[in-house]
Amino acid sequence: MTAKEYLQQLTNLHLRIAAIEGVIAEYYEKAQGTAAGCSELPPSVMVTDNRTEDRLIKLAESSEKLQELCDELEVFAYKATIEINRLKNSTYAALLINKYVRNRTWEQVAEDIGLNTDYTKGELHSKALAAFEREVMNTSQNLLAFPC
Q: Which comes out higher in pLDDT, residue 1 or 88? A: 88
In this predicted structure, the answer to whether residue 82 has a pLDDT above a threshold of 60 is yes
- H helix intervals, 45-142: 50-84, 90-96, 106-113, 117-119, 125-132
Specify if 146 maps to a domain: no
- Domain containing 72 equals 3-139
Specify if 148 maps to a domain: no
Question: What is the spatial distance between Cα 42 and Cα 45, in angstroms, rounded to a whole number?
Answer: 6
Specify if 145 maps to a domain: no
Domain count, the chain: 1
> What is the percent of the chain where pLDDT is above 70?
82
- Beta-carbon contacts of residue 66 (< 8 Å; ≥ 6 apart): 17, 20, 21, 24
Mean pLDDT over all residues of the chain? 86
Q: What is the pTM of this model?
A: 0.77
Which residue from 113, 141, 144, 111 is spatially nearest to 127, judged by alpha carbons? 113
Specify if 38 maps to a domain: yes
